[in-house]
C-alpha cells in the first residue's frame, strides 16, 4: 500500500528525443507527487511536483502527467539534452505528512 | 551559500567502530531528515525531526541514533558499524508539512560511508 513502482530502470534517448518515465502507486490517500533529479555524486534535487487536482503540470521541458483513476503519473522530458543524463526518482506522500515514499529510480542517458 | 551541508563527504572505517555524520541547513526549515541510499540507488527515509522533536523513526537498527541540538542541525551517530551499513547517507530539510505546505525536501550532497 505504501509502494511506488517506477519504470523503466534505465532509459537511453537520443538528443532531442522525448524521455518518458512512469510511476504507479497503490495508496489512494497519497496527494503529493514530486520528481527528483540526481546527478552522480550529488544529492537528489526537486525537479517538479503535482497534486491530484490537476492532470498535468509543465515547467519548461519537464511535464508531469497524472492519471488519478489509474493511479499513475509520469515524467516527460521534451527535447532531451545530454545534460539531462541523471537518475530520476518519483515519489509520493500525504500532503500533511513529512514522509516521502520514493520509487526505485530511472537512470537516463541522453546521447548526442 | 550551501543550503544543506553534510560532513564528512567520505567516511571509511572498520567494522565495529562508532562514527558520526553531521548535517546543517541554513534554509530556516523546521524539519530535517536522514535518508539511506543503497548500492542500487534505492532511497529510504530513516528519521525525521521537526523542530528538534523526532517525528519519523523507520525500522532502523538502534545502532543508529539521530540527535538534533537545534532545528538547523541533525546529526547521525552510528554504533558498532557493520558491512551492511555501507551506503550513501543523505540529510534533507523542508518547511514541513505541519506548516500546511507541500513537502518540498532539499537534500545535502551526501556522505559515502564505507565499512571494511
The per-residue pLDDT for range B51-94, each reduced to its tens digit, is 888 888 888 899 999 999 998 999 999 999 999 999 999 999 99
Model pLDDT for residues B2-61, shown as the tens digit of each residue: 799 999 999 999 999 999 999 999 999 989 999 999 999 999 999 998 888 888 888 889
Q: Which of residues 11-70 of A touch B (CB under 8 A)?
A: 32, 34, 36, 38, 41-46, 49, 51
Model pLDDT for residues A17-61, shown as the tens digit of each residue: 999 999 999 998 898 999 999 999 999 999 999 988 899 999 999
Peptide linkage before A4 cis (omega within 30 of 0) = no
Residue A21 has a pLDDT of: 98
A95:B103 CB<8 A: yes
Residues from chain A contacting residue B98 (CB–CB below 8 Å): 96, 98
Nearest neighbour of A100 by CB, restricted to B40, B41, B105:
B105
Residue B100 has a pLDDT of: 66
Nearest neighbour of A98 by CB, restricted to B42, B43, B96:
B96
- The DSSP bridge pattern shows strands A33-38 and B73-78 to be unpaired
Half-sphere exposure of B107 (CA within 13 A, CB side): 24
B102:A41 CB<8 A: no
Q: For residue B88, what is its C-alpha cell?
A: 550513501
Residue B95 has a pLDDT of: 85
Nearest Cα of chain A lies from the Cα of B104 at a distance, in angstroms, of 7
Residue A94 has a pLDDT of: 80
Is some CB atom of chain B closer than 8 A to the CB atom of A99? yes
Nearest neighbour of A32 by CB, restricted to B50, B96, B102:
B102
Amino acid at each position: 500500500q505504501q509502494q511506488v513502482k517506477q519504470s523503466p530502470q534505465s532509459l537511453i534517448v537520443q538528443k532531442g528525443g522525448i524521455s518518458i518515465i512512469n510511476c504507479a502507486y497503490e495508496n489512494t490517500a497519497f496527494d503529493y507527487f514530486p520528481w527528483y533529479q540526481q546527478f552522480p555524486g550529488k544529492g537528489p534535487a526537486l525537479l517538479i511536483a503535482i497534486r491530484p487536482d490537476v492532470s498535468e503540470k509543465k515547467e519548461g521541458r519537464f511535464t508531469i502527467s497524472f492519471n488519478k483513476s489509474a493511479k499513475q503519473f509520469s515524467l516527460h522530458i521534451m527535447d532531451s539534452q545530454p545534460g539531462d543524463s541523471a537518475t530520476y526518482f518519483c515519489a509520493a506522500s500525504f500532503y500533511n505528512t513529512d514522509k516521502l515514499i520514493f520509487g526505485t529510480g530511472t537512470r537516463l542517458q541522453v546521447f548526442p | 551559500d550551501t543550503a544543506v551541508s553534510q560532513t564528512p563527504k567520505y567516511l571509511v572505517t572498520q567494522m565495529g567502530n562508532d562514527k558520526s555524520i553531521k548535517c546543517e541547513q541554513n534554509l530556516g526549515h523546521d524539519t530535517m531528515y536522514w535518508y539511506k541510499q543503497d548500492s542500487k540507488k534505492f532511497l529510504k527515509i530513516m528519521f525525521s525531526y521537526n523542530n528538534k522533536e523526532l517525528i519519523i523513526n523507520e525500522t532502523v537498527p538502534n545502532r543508529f541514533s539521530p540527535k538534533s541540538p537545534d532545528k538547523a542541525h541533525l546529526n547521525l551517530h552510528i554504533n558498532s558499524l557493520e558491512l551492511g551499513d555501507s551506503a550513501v547517507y543523505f540529510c534533507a530539510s523542508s518547511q514541513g508539512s505541519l506548516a500546511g505546505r507541500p513537502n518540498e525536501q532539499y537534500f545535502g550532497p551526501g556522505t559515502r560511508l564505507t565499512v571494511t
